[in-house]
Structure 1
Amino acid sequence: MWTSDTPFSHEGKYYRFEDNVSNVRPLQKPHIPVFFSGSSDAAVEVGARTADTYMLWAESLAGTREQLDRIRAAEARFERANPLRFSLSVRPIIAPTEAEAWAKAEDILGKARALQAKSAQAFGIGRRERPGQPQNVGSIRLLETAAKGRVVDKRLWTEIAQLTGASGNSTALVGTPEQVAESLLDYYDLGIDTILIRGFDPLRDAIAYGRELIPLVRAEVARRDAEAAGKSPLQAARA
């Protein structure tokens, strides 16, 4: 439907239509890039075959490497027009000093605990009635990472994932902009192509990321790419 210039029909398990054509088509060619996520075996098979970019939550570096190897092995079984790209989702917590960043993290954790307790009280949820082990493989993997400690690798903070049952993008990188940029680049070195970041205070964090974190990451990625391509720092800066 994104690519056909003439009407076509389809009859499948989930969709059926006759002589359909769309006058609205994406700017990107041949179609809008497909971003996909999932850690189950079934998800890996579908994503490796159909996605343009495979999205991962921030696990430990070792866990991320394992995921990348697993997905690439599945990708090799399919004939693809372009290699699969990879995206990492994480929640940076940055401040001028490392101590201030960790103070922010502790404040976020305290507020999250208070909110969870308030919600449980409002809905009459007791400790024994709270949800148990999540069913999705991605959350299970994040909880396995959290079980290794409150901080994994250099500065991957896991306590929010532990508190929430890893119900979403819930691991964080805590430190100064320079420290968090360094950790993001560790994932880049593993093969991560794009990074999806969001904060716990969306507007203020977005401003801080744009001013203090993203420029550091982009500059270092450009330097490393130029070095790999045999370019000089001046050529990298112009690029």
Structure 2
Amino acid sequence: AGQDLAADLVDMYLTWGEPPAQVAEKLAAARAKAALRGRKLRFGIRLHFIVRETEDEAWRAADRLISHVTDAQIENAQARFLNQMDSVGQRRMAQLHGGRRDRLVVSPNLWAGVGLVRGGAGTALVGTPEQITERIREYQAIGIDTIIGSGYPHLEEAYRVAELLFPKLGLGTRRQRA
């Protein structure tokens, strides 16, 4: 239903961060539906970022985000996502890891730990600036041209993304451009 609505009305189809192959399938389906209506869509993706100077630091930061989450909290949240919500996207997020801590790395540098207890966008790109840039380029290669990013804690991660990742993407902060 969401793809049909997008094909009829929107200029940009936004998806959550799934492995690139799954995103590519979704984009192809939405693109085909839009083409049947004589329309073209742009595509965006919603992801969290956990970027650090080393890969080990990044994965430790990811682990810290869920270090105080109990198995009971995970079980309750996953049951709510699967039984009380009719969102196809939310079900897809929950299916990435199945509520299991040992299945959180769902693709290179793509971590589904955010979605253990949080609804909505439940994945993060985790790694060094170079690794995350490589993953972003993979999404761009399948048609993503817009990224809505965030991180936890919001302010601190925003600074890290600006300082570590933006230069690799050819983006500068005001301070860097001055």
- Which of 110, 120, 136 is the matching residue for 1:156? 110
Aligned residues: 164
Matched residue of 2:144: which SS?
coil
Tell me the equivalent position of 1:146. 97
Cα 1:199–1:64 shift into 2, 3 Å? same
Tell me the equivalent position of 1:77. 36
Q: State which structure, 1 or 2, has the greater radius of gyration over its C-alpha atoms.
A: 1
Write out aligned runs for 1:17-36 (5 A): none
- With structure 1 as the length reference, what TM-score do the two structures score? 0.63
Task: Render the CA deviation track for 1:150-178: whole Å, top value 9, x for unaligned.
Answer: 212211101221x22x6101101111111
Write out aligned runs for 1:106-121 (5 A): 106-111=63-68, 113=69
Task: Render the CA deviation track for 1:169-223: whole Å, top value 9, x for unaligned.
Answer: 110111111111111111011110111110011111111111211231237xxxx
- With structure 2 as the length reference, what TM-score do the two structures score? 0.83
Task: Render the CA deviation track for 1:32-85: whole Å, top value 9, x for unaligned.
Answer: xxxxxxxxxx111111121111101000111101100110111111133xx311
Matched residue of 1:138: which SS?
helix
Instruction: Indicate the structure with greater helix content.
Output: 2
Q: Return the alpha-carbon distance in structure 1 between the equivalents of residues 28 and 38 of structure 2.
A: 17
How far did residue 141 of structure 1 move? 1.3
Q: Return the alpha-carbon distance in structure 2 between the equivalents of residues 48 and 104 of structure 1.
A: 39
Write the letter of the residue equivalent to 1:65. Answer: A
Q: Which runs of 5+ in 2 are unaligned?
A: 172-178
Write out aligned runs for 1:207-226 (5 A): 207-218=159-170
How far did residue 132 of structure 1 move? 5.4
Structure number with the bigger relative contact order (C-alpha 8 A, sep ≥ 6) is 2
Task: Render the CA deviation track for 1:102-161: whole Å, top value 9, x for unaligned.
Answer: 1100100114x16x85xx9xxxxx95xx62514210011122222493212211101221
Tell me the equivalent position of 1:98. 55
Runs of 4 or more consecutive aligned structure 1 residues displaced over 4 Å after TM superposition: none
Cα 1:177–1:105 shift into 2, 3 Å? same
Q: Percent identity?
A: 33
Q: Return the alpha-carbon distance in structure 2 between the equivalents of residues 201 and 170 of structure 1.
A: 15
Contact 1:60/1:145, CA 8 A, preserved across alignment: no
Q: Which runs of 5+ in 1 are unaligned?
A: 1-41, 121-125, 220-239
Write the letter of the residue equivalent to 2:97. Answer: A
Contact 1:158/1:171, CA 8 A, preserved across alignment: yes
Tell me the equivalent position of 2:176. none
Q: Return the alpha-carbon distance in structure 2 between the equivalents of residues 209 and 76 of structure 1.
A: 36
Tell me the equivalent position of 2:130. 178
